[in-house]
Structure 1
């Protein structure tokens, strides 16, 4: 189907002048009577159906402009209807991409109220997408003590970018985070940017809440499963739980070294070398067993000890050289 003609393109000054001249001359003319210079304008009048051949084609006549206007209106309405119909469907080039997007398990049904995602790469992809949409606040509960060392450079960049965007950042760690130098160094860096990080000596689940609109809850200790929650009521419940933990958590001055002079933890290796159990060492130091357990786990990894007995044995004589 031909595209509707544009009045601005076809009826220029030359075409309108020729039409008026032919009309003033009676409206009936022969093509060979039209000067060569006016032939382009005549072609435009023909395209607009303002002139038409008569009988055997020897003579031509001008046509009523109202009929041409009516045809133009009909063509424009038909073209508009086609455009409206096309607007309801995506272009073919995008339709294929839309189908592929909808088939992708990581993002199909993304608008579900509660959706479970399996696999760290897919979870991370979804988290990064949501982080870009967050504009006000990020609440994080990070259990387990030390953060993975490989993640800390990324965490630094993310903290800087979020603060540059004006996000409020609040994080809850467990006490073991204070005993891990890389994690403590990250916390000092983030705190210097304005983030607030506290320590809670209790069990809690890994959780991330963005703008109090979407919550992401870890489904296991290996962080291979996460539930993305968008139901406002459920998100509100999780926010309340975070706020209760935050109120009980301990404020930490992360800008100071973790092992200050009055910190009792440096005495832990000597107690373990004496054969004390985790509970006995915690009682002697006046700390919770959880705090001592986190330090013992770090020491076992450092000394490659499989049991507490092996660790105590290897710690004997440390510092005597």
Structure 2
């Protein structure tokens, strides 16, 4: 058999397969049916008739599923007040949920965001935030602001030196969010409607602890408000005087924590800066007061009354 003949047979076979597939598809839709029980003879069925024959049973089944769902939902809703008035329901309102995996923590926060209607408080120490985290936070905050919820966020002073963070804050501020910065340490925290608090898990920093105990939530809110009252508005535009003021505040924070005897890593973390940035600030301070080392710097700070003079 020649190449041309082989191609012709293959084409005819392919065409026959396509035709059989089309016939089966039409029969599945009810548009073709056997004529008098003879599988070799098929007749066309009007689409309106086929629609009634094929779709009506499925519609009846769907309606029955909907009725079962409605009955189950009504039954559960009727039992909810009884459960909430029970001792177990009371315990749930004071429950603490520990989530160790990052994906689970993100899901829990997303659910709380979806339910938040009045206010979200957020404090995020550590300076500049990763772009992925900023994007996720932007989406969450935008949804709450659209619902009319109040959003307040607290960052370290050092976050002002991150352009992605500045752009992120500018976007939220345009939609009504308030953002402030502080120089010293504060707790990482989310509070939704003053009813649920989310905090990092100590042994799993990427996990979370979801707390509903009103006593703990009240304490978390008070902690946030204390730091918030000491904060300054996050500037979304460059201001030389503000930058100089923040730089001096950071240096004052370094001096104070240095005098308290904290290690370099601890001081850097509390001020929301990298260890290298902290060491650069420390070097500038030591040059300013002509200190030979950390111990000498502490002595000179006391001798020169730098803390009293700057405050």
Q: TM-score, normalised by structure 1?
A: 0.49
**For residues 51-107 of structure 1, what are the alpha-carbon distances to aligned partners after superposition, in whole Å with 9 as ceiling and x for unaligned?**
xxxxxxxxxxxxxxxxxxxxxxxxxxxxxxxx9xxx68999xxxxxxxxxxxxxxxx
CA distance in 2, matches of 1:261, 1:178: 14
Q: Determine whether 1:255 maps to 2:247.
A: no
Tell me what 2:228 maps to.
246
Higher relative contact order (CA 8 A, sep 6+): 2
The CA deviation at 1:240 is 1.6
Counterpart of 2:201 in structure 1 is 219
SS at match of 1:264: helix
Aligned to 1:140: 122
In 2, the alpha carbon distance for the partners of 1:160 and 1:208 equals 16
- Whether contact under 8 Å (2:197, 2:220) holds in the other structure is yes
- Give, in angstroms, the shift of residue 214 of structure 1: 0.6
Q: Is the 8 A contact 2:100 2:206 kept in 1?
A: yes
Q: Which runs of 4+ in 1 moved over 4 A?
A: 87-91, 109-112, 265-268, 289-300
Root-mean-square deviation (Å): 4.1
Alignment partner of 2:190: what SS? strand
Instruction: Kindly name which structure, 1 or 2, has the bigger radius of gyration based on alpha carbons.
Output: 1
Q: Which residue of 2 aligns with 1:120?
A: 102
Residues 175, 291 of structure 1: 8 Å contact kept? no
* Secondary structure of 2:106 counterpart: helix
* Unmatched runs of 5 consecutive residues or more in structure 1: 1-82, 92-108, 269-277, 283-288, 301-306, 313-321
Q: Give the 3 Å change call, closer, same or farther, for CA 192–117 of structure 1 in structure 2.
A: same
1:266 is displaced (CA, Å) by 11
Change (3 A) 1:88 1:137: closer
Matches within 5 A, 1:27-42: none
Report 1:153-302 matches (<5 A).
153-220=135-202, 223-252=205-234, 254-257=235-238, 260=240, 263-264=243-244, 294=272, 297=275
| Matched pairs, number | 187
Does the 8 Å contact 2:189/2:198 carry over to 1?
A: yes
In structure 2, relative to structure 1, the CA distance for the partners of 1:240 and 1:260 (3 Å cut) is same
* Distance of 1:266 and 1:135 partners within structure 2: 34
Measure, in 2, the Cα distance between the counterparts of 1:279 and 1:185: 31
Higher helix share: 2
Q: Distance in 1 between matches of 2:247 and 2:111?
A: 45
The structure-2 alpha-carbon separation of the partners of 1:88 and 1:266, relative to structure 1 and needing over 3 Å to count, comes to: closer
Q: 5+ residue gaps in structure 2?
A: 1-66, 76-90, 249-253, 259-266, 285-311
